[in-house]
Amino acid sequence: MAAPSLKKFAFHTLQQGKTLAGLAHKELSNKLMEVFAPEAAPGKFPIDQDLITEIRRSMDNLENIDWQEAEAGIYPKSQLFEAPWLEWAKKYPLVWLDMPQTWQRRKRNKTREIPRDVKEEDYPDYYLQNFHHQTDGYLSEHSAEIYDLQVEILFNGTADSMRRRILSPLKTGLKKFLSEDSKKVKVLDIATGTGRTLQQIQSALPEVELYGLDLSGSYLKQASKYLSSRSGDLVQLTRGNAEKMPFPSKSFQALTCVFLFHELPREARQNVLNECFRLLEPGGTLVLADSIQIEDSPKFTSIMENFHKIFHEPYYRDYIIDNINSRLEESGFSSITSESHFMTKVWKANKPI
């Protein structure tokens, strides 16, 4: 057997380190919650040893595919190490300082504490909530600043690896457009948040024109700060509702959307897919990534149940049993495929020519 390269070893060590840091953070914060806000501690389904073994196996598989796809040139290996570490280190105390407010919100079951200056009429009603009990929901700079770090902790350092699973299907879907060199290929990342997926696409496909859309001006501001600190072409960021996007029909060759659908009510999920169909050029591809679902990951049912017990995720329970394939078909998509990687399921669907 060939010796693992130094880079592979470094990647493995980094992932292990992130996992340990995530677990240690959660262990300590749970202990503190039990002491200082015991009423906020949610009742959870127990996680037995078999499930822990299964989780480890699934995380190992994710790490392996992440490495293999980098080796295959789907994205540069530097992508595996890419993160604003210094920024995150500076922001880490903010995560702790925010925690007591989160516990209070959970304890009092307060899920609609949105900043006073937010114009409610600018947003759909389902959006005006404290998803994950987070302070200000998605509607403040404070929330945007600590979001990435919170997600990395939540997924024990695997969030970016899971996001990267959209890159291979995206590249496959864009192949024919990229070979017609007369044409500028446009890709839109829907619900882009703080822009981590955009950054990944930019490094895998530097030649495409990139766009990002999100309902949160604060998250887009964070995305803009992050993306402009890197080399690469400018990314156009637009504030808007994914149910009614401010772009002409057939204006993109590919669309991506990561971790949005579990936060939408059913009707909104269908509206977003209908909009995706409208925005794609015939022959174009949609790549969607979100939580795994019960049907294809029954072994992780208790984790999915715990997720919506611990965090305020009002549409998650419905999402994990929703038939997204049927929704894609209803919107007009064909050649639909899906695969799961640890906690993330990725769909690829085409708009017929």
Ligand X SMILES: C[S@@+](CC[C@H](N)C(=O)[O-])C[C@H]1O[C@@H](n2cnc3c(N)ncnc32)[C@H](O)[C@@H]1O
Tell me if 269 contacts ligand X by CB under 6 A.
no
**Which contiguous run of DSSP H or E holds residue 300?**
none
Return the sign of the alpha-carbon dihedral for residues 206, 212, 217, 218: negative
Residue (of 276, 64, 269, 252) closest to 165 by Cα position = 64
Q: Which of 33, 149, 187, 242 binds ligand X (CB under 6 A)?
A: 242
Vertex 297: Cα angle to 296 and 301 (nearest 5): 130
Q: Which is nearer to ligand X, 106 or 163 (CB)?
A: 163
Per CB under 6 A, the segment of 45-53, 172-180, 239-247, 311-319 that binds ligand X is 239-247
Under rule CB under 6 A, residue 241 binds ligand X:
yes
Q: Is 130 in the site for ligand X (CB under 6 A)?
A: no
C-beta separation of 69 from 10 below 8 A: no
Of these, 133, 196, 327, 341, which contacts ligand X (CB under 6 A)?
A: 196
Q: Furthest-apart CA pair in the chain: how many Å?
A: 63
Q: Which of 258, 286, 343, 349 binds ligand X (CB under 6 A)?
A: 258
DSSP run (H or E) holding 314: none
Question: Residue 297 and residue 277: Cα distance in Å, rounded?
Answer: 27
Q: Which of residues 159-188 bind ligand X (CB under 6 A)?
A: 163
Decide: is 138 part of the binding site for ligand X (CB under 6 A): yes
Q: Which residue is nearest to ligand X (CB)?
A: 193
Shortest reach from residue 50's CB to ligand X, in Å: 29
Q: Residue 13 burial by CB count (10 A; 0-12/13-18/19+): exposed, middle or buried? A: exposed
Q: How far is the CB of 7 from ligand X (least distance, A)?
A: 25
Residue with tokens 């969607």: 288
Between strands 344-350 and 334-341, the pairing is antiparallel
Nearest residue (CB) to ligand X, 103 versus 259? 259
Which lies closer to ligand X via its Cβ, residue 39 or residue 267?
Answer: 267
Near ligand X by CB under 6 A: residue from 62, 191, 204, 235: 191
Asked if residue 197 binds ligand X (CB under 6 A), the reply is: yes
DSSP for 183-239, written as a single string: S--EEEEET-TTSHHHHHHHHH-TTSEEEEEES-HHHHHHHHHHHHTSSS---EEEE
Q: Which is nearer to ligand X, 54 or 318 (CB)?
A: 318
Options 66-74, 102-110, 190-198, 280-288: segment touching ligand X (CB under 6 A): 190-198
Q: What is the contact mask toward ligand X in residues 277 to 316, using x (rule: CB under 6 A)?
A: ----------------------------------------
CB 163 within 8 A of CB 199: no
Rounded to whole angstroms, how far apart are CA atoms 156 and 58? Answer: 13
| Cβ nearer to ligand X, comparing 184 with 230 | 230
- Cross-sheet strand order for the sheet of 334-341: 236-239, 209-214, 186-190, 252-258, 280-291, 344-350, 334-341
**Smallest distance from ligand X to CB 123, Å:** 8
* # residues near ligand X by CB under 6 A: 21
> Which range touches ligand X (CB under 6 A), out of 62-70, 210-218, 225-233, 314-322?
210-218
219 makes contact with ligand X (CB under 6 A): yes
Please choose, out of 173-181, 235-243, 280-288, 296-304, the segment that lies near ligand X by the rule CB under 6 A. Answer: 235-243
Tell me which residues touch ligand X (CB under 6 A): 124, 127, 138, 151, 163, 191-193, 196-197, 214-216, 219, 241-243, 258-260, 263
